[in-house]
Structure 1
C-alpha cells in the first residue's frame, strides 16, 4: 500500500545516529504502524495537546556498523572523551568542545616532539584486562599498548617460506600475550583492523588453525579470558589440570588466568558433578547453573574420564570435599596452592 501521512498527528522519529532510512507509515485497522530498517527507533505520535502513543521498535541488526562503532570507541579521541565525561561529569557536546580546543592548542607542538614507535612495532588502544564481559566496549577503560609485529630477519624467513598466513599464525599468540603483559586484552577485530589489516574471517581461520595444531596453547584474546563466545577449550583444560593435581598457582601460570576465573570454572564443574549425582539431565543442569548445554556436556564427559583414572578420581573427590561448590562458588581452594 502507498505510504500515507497522518493528517492530525505529527510523527517524530529518533534513531541512534539521527538518520531515517526506509520509513513507511501505513494506515491499519488499529491506527498507524511504522515499518523501519534502522537501529532502535522511538516513534512518538502527538496531537496539538498531548502525547497519544509512544512505542519503541527494533530494526534489523547491522553487524558491520556495530563493528565500526566498537573500533571507533578504541581510539585516543574516544578515550579522552570518556575520561572527560566521567571525570568532569559534562555532556558529550561539552566533551567534544574540550577535545577540539586541546587539538587546536597542543597538536601543532605534539607532532614535532612526539616519540616515534621503534621499527616493527605498533601502538594501539585496547580494552583493559580488568574490564568484565558484558560491559559495552565504549564504556570500558582503555589501555595503550605497544606490540611487536615484525621481529626482523626471523619474520622475513617466515614470510618468505610460509606466506602471509603463516606469518600471522606465527605472531598471533605472542601479540596477545604481549598485550596482556601490558594490562590489556585484544580482540579479533583489533588483530584484523589494527595489526594485520585483513578481515575478521581471516583471523578466525588463523585462530582455528592454531587451536588445531596446538590445542594446549592458550591464546590470550579477550573472548577467551572473559568467556565471550563459544570456545570451551580453555575451560575444560583448566578442569583437566586441576584433576591432574596441579595447584591453583600452577594453573594460573599455565593458562594465564586469574585465580578468580580459575576458581569459577572449578566451582561450576563441581556443581555439575553434584547435580549429575542427583540423576539430573544435561538440560536440567544447564538451566539450574545458567550455563550452556555444550559446556555442561563437556564437564560430564570429564567425569566419565575420571571413572577410568584413579588419579583423576582422587583429585575429583578432593575437589568436591574442599567445597568449591559452596554457596555462590566463592570459596577458593587456597589449601592446594602451596601443596
Structure 2
C-alpha cells in the first residue's frame, strides 16, 4: 500500500514547488500582473495547465506509450499553423493482448496492423485528441501511405468513420465523413442506419444527402462555379460532390 502513495506524494511536492517558482517569477519579472490575488490565480491556472500535460510513467501499462495529439476541440483556421495548434497528452496502446492473440491464431501482419491503426485512432479520440496519418506512421514504424491505405480500406469496407485529424477537422486529402455518408446513401442505406454507422446525427446525414442531390441535379446543366453560386456553397465543396458523382457513374 505504501508504494501506491508515492506517486501522489511526489506529484504534490512537484505541484507545490512549481507554484512557488511561478509566483517567484511573476513577482520578480512580471510585476505588471498586479495584486496578490491575481498572481495567485494566474499561478494556479498555470500549474493546472502543466498538471494536465503531466503523466506519471508508472501509470502506463505494458505496451502503452505517452504521445501528444491535437485537441479535437481546436479546429484549424486561417493563420493557425502546427506550432499554434494546442496539443494534449494521451496514452496509446501500441501492443495489446488482442494483438498477441491474433498473432498466435495465425492472422496476417496486415490484419494485425489494421487492428492497431483502428484501435489507436479511437483511443486518441476517446481522450479528446486527434492523430494524423503521420503520427500513426511514426508510432507503428510504417509509411504514411501504408496508414492512409489501410484506414481508407477499413472505412470503405465497414462504413465506419475513423476519427483521424484529417477527417474530423476536414483537412488534407483524407476521406471525408461526407464521402462515407454519401457512399452509404448511394448503396441504398436509410438515414437512420447511416447515422448509426457513422456516429452522426440524422440531421447531419440528411444535410449532406440533400446537398448532394441538389448538386447532382444541377451538375447536368452547369459548371461547378455556377452551382456554387446558386447553392451558396464553396466551389471546393461542390467539386467534392461532383467527384463522388463521377465515381458512381
Output the CA distance in 2 between the equivalents of 1:114 and 1:150: 17
> Alpha-carbon deviation of 1:216?
1.4
TM norm structure 2: 0.59
Q: Is the 8 A contact 1:225 1:257 kept in 2?
A: no
1:280 corresponds to which residue? 222
- Alpha-carbon separation, structure 2, partners of 1:258 and 1:115: 40
1:131 to 67, 74, 86: 74
Q: Distance in 2 between matches of 1:234 and 1:114?
A: 36
**Preserved contact between residue 123 and residue 145 of structure 1 (Cα < 8 Å):** yes
- 1:176 and 2:118 equivalent? no
Corresponding residue for 2:170?
Answer: 227
Residue 252 (structure 1) shift: 4.9
> Of 181, 201, 209, which aligns to 1:238?
181
Residue 142, structure 1, aligned to residue 84, structure 2: no
Q: Distance in 2 between matches of 1:262 and 1:131?
A: 23
Moved over 6 A (4+): 258-261
In 1, distance between residues paired with 2:126 and 2:196?
13
After superposition, the Cα gap between the structure-2 partners of 1:181 and 1:260, relative to the gap in structure 1 and judged at 3 Å, is farther
Q: Give structure 2 stretches of 5+ with no counterpart.
A: 1-21, 30-53
Long gaps (5+) in structure 1: 1-83, 91-109, 306-339
Residue 260 of structure 1: CA displacement?
A: 8.9
Which residue number corresponds to residue 145 of structure 2? 201
Task: Write the distance in 1 (CA, Å) between the matches of 2:69 and 2:201.
Answer: 19
Between the aligned partners of 2:99 and 2:144, the Cα distance in structure 1 is: 22
3-state DSSP of counterpart to 1:291 = helix
2:115 & 2:175 partners in 1: Cα distance? 22
Q: Distance in 1 between matches of 2:202 and 2:82?
A: 24
- SS of corresponding position for 1:127: strand
1:144: Cα distance to partner? Answer: 1.7
Note closer, same or farther for the CA distance 1:224–1:201 as it changes in structure 2 (3 Å cut).
same
Aligned residue runs from structure 1 range 1-339, under 5 A: 115-134=58-77, 135-152=80-97, 154-159=98-103, 161-193=106-138, 195-211=139-155, 214-232=157-175, 234-239=177-182, 244-247=189-192, 251-257=194-200, 265-266=208-209, 268-269=211-212, 272=215, 275-276=218-219, 279-282=221-224, 284-285=226-227, 289=233, 290-291=235-236, 294-298=239-243, 300=245
Instruction: Report which of the two has the higher share of strand.
Output: 1
What root-mean-square deviation, in Å, do the aligned CA atoms of Structure 1 and Structure 2 show? 4.1
Cα distance in 2 for partners of 1:136, 1:257 equals 28
Residue 299 to residue 199, structure 1, CA distance change in 2 (3 Å): closer
The 8 Å contact of residues 161 and 180 in structure 2, kept in 1 or not, is answered as: no
Cα deviation code 1:103-138 (max 9, x no counterpart)? xxxxxxx99x75330112222110011122344222
CA distance in 2, matches of 1:208, 1:262: 20
Higher RCO (C-alpha 8 Å, min separation 6): 2
